Amino acid sequence: MKLLVTGGAGFIGSNFVLYMLKKYHDYQIVNVDALTYAGNLENLKSIENNPNHVFVKADIRDTAKMDELMGQGIDVVVNFAAESHVDRSIMEPDVFVKTNVLGTQVLLDAAKKHGISKFVQVSTDEVYGTLGETGLFSETTPLAPNSPYSASKAGGDLLVRAYHETFGLPVNITRCSNNYGPYQFPEKLIPLMISKALADEPLPIYGDGLNIRDWLYVEDHCSAIDLVIHQGRVGEVYNIGGNNERTNLYIVQTILEELGKSESLINYVQDRPGHDRRYGIDPTKTMTELGWKPEHSFETGIHETIKWYLDNKEWWTRIQSGAYQEYYAKQYGSRL
């Protein structure tokens, strides 16, 4: 099988490429990534010399390039490429629409032209909006995105749906909850808090810290996408999540405790505008139809993740420079 993976130098995309090449020794992967601030070729160092992996630096909005790449015998497209950070989307929505909506449409057109056999759109539970104290997101929950990021992901999802309904393109959409694990860019909650705690700097918690996210170890997300590629019924949406709802405060306290740091580092700051209160995924369909089951409990996953960041300090300290620093000052300057 020949896969075109977009965004494969980012957090989840690179974990997915490593996972697939390890599991399927005869699969070929064309990995397309624009290498924005979030793309990092260091994530792919271990497969540098693997002949089954070809990296192409390109933007998914580049129509001619996507046409050329998909014309090279691609069977399956897995679209991870996206602007992914909610806070950035609040500051600068423009690029979110361009990549997450228009970029998806460019890929869909190329996939349609070349008759690929499966297009998997990697989406998010955030397209469903927010939950109150009870209930879970199912695949039939109406879309109600609240941030420019989630609205742009919902826009991409709706185009994927439309290309299936209108043109018969064989698609699946996956909607996963919050991922954590190796190679996550240190702007996201867990790696940000680990790096702050290690530096004995204040840990910025938005609002009252009681917003809830449903956490899944990244490898478990990869195994679910693998099953969707091979067994997902065409046209279907699959929710992915491991029933691990935690408050942000709990996450931060866990990190501080594991690192032997004081809770006095916690710093409550101004809330994120439009901050979704709670996410919770009902993964029943993915589990029963595809036989998927997460392998990592939250306790082992967070322990392994903290250890990875301790063992790979160079990876994230290199990131924390240049353009990232500039963004960081803009984002937190007025809050701390």
Q: How far, in Å, CA of 104 to CA of 241, rounded?
A: 23
Q: Which region, judged by CB under 6 A, interacts with ligand NAD, from 1-9, 18-26, 266-274, 280-288?
A: 1-9
Residue that has been written with the tokens 């990869």 in this structure: 222
Residues in 235-254 that interact with ligand DAU by CB under 6 A = 248
- Joined together, the tokens standing for residue 268 give 């409550």
Which residue lies nearer to ligand DAU by CB, 1 or 35?
35
Residue nearest ligand NAD, Cβ-based = 10
The rounded Cα 230 to chain-centroid distance in angstroms is 20
* Distance in Å from the first CA to the final CA of the chain: 50
Let me know: does 81 contact 99? Beta carbons within 8 Å. Answer: yes
Q: Does 82 bind ligand NAD (CB under 6 A)?
A: yes
Q: Which region, judged by CB under 6 A, interacts with ligand NAD, from 82-90, 226-234, 269-277, 307-315?
A: 82-90
Q: Does 84 bind ligand NAD (CB under 6 A)?
A: yes
Instruction: Give catalytic status of residue 62 as yes or no.
Output: no
CA neighbor of 136 nearest in space, from 283, 291, 276, 294: 283
Among 66, 106, 159, 192, binds ligand DAU (CB under 6 A): 192
Residues in 35-64 that interact with ligand NAD by CB under 6 A = 35-36, 38-39, 59-61
Among 84, 89, 99, 254, binds ligand DAU (CB under 6 A): 84
Catalytic pick from 109, 128, 149, 187? Answer: 149
- Minimum distance from residue 147 beta carbon to ligand NAD (Å): 12
Q: How far, in Å, CA of 223 to CA of 291, rounded?
A: 11
Q: Nearest 10 degrees: CA dihedral of 196, 202, 208, 210?
A: 20
- Joined together, the tokens standing for residue 56 give 């192409």
Instruction: Give catalytic status of residue 27 as yes or no.
Output: no
Q: How far, in Å, CA of 18 to CA of 8, rounded?
A: 9
Which residue lies nearer to ligand NAD by CB, 107 or 306?
107
Q: Does 12 bind ligand DAU (CB under 6 A)?
A: no
CA atoms within 13 A on the CB side of 251: 31
Residues in the chain: 336
Among 3, 4, 5, 12, binds ligand NAD (CB under 6 A): 12
Catalytic pick from 59, 87, 109, 126? Answer: 126
Let me know: does 16 contact 77? Beta carbons within 8 Å. Answer: no
Q: How far, in Å, CA of 189 to CA of 282, rounded?
A: 23
Let me know: does 188 contact 137? Beta carbons within 8 Å. Answer: no
38 binds, among ligand NAD, ligand DAU, none (CB under 5 to 8 A by kind): ligand NAD
Q: How far, in Å, CA of 269 to CA of 67, rounded?
A: 46
Instruction: Give catalytic status of residue 149 as yes or no.
Output: yes
Q: How far, in Å, CA of 168 to CA of 166, rounded?
A: 6
Among 4, 11, 44, 66, binds ligand NAD (CB under 6 A): 11
Q: Does 126 bind ligand DAU (CB under 6 A)?
A: yes
204 binds, among ligand NAD, ligand DAU, none (CB under 5 to 8 A by kind): ligand DAU
Q: How far, in Å, CA of 96 to CA of 92, rounded?
A: 8
Q: Does 99 bind ligand DAU (CB under 6 A)?
A: no
Among 81, 101, 281, 306, binds ligand NAD (CB under 6 A): 81
Q: Which residues in this chain contact ligand DAU in the complex, by CB under 6 A?
A: 84-86, 124-126, 177-178, 188-189, 192, 204-206, 211, 213, 248, 272, 279
Q: Which residues in this chain contact ligand NAD in the complex, by CB under 6 A?
A: 6-7, 9-13, 33-36, 38-39, 59-61, 80-84, 99, 103, 122, 124, 153, 176, 178-179, 185
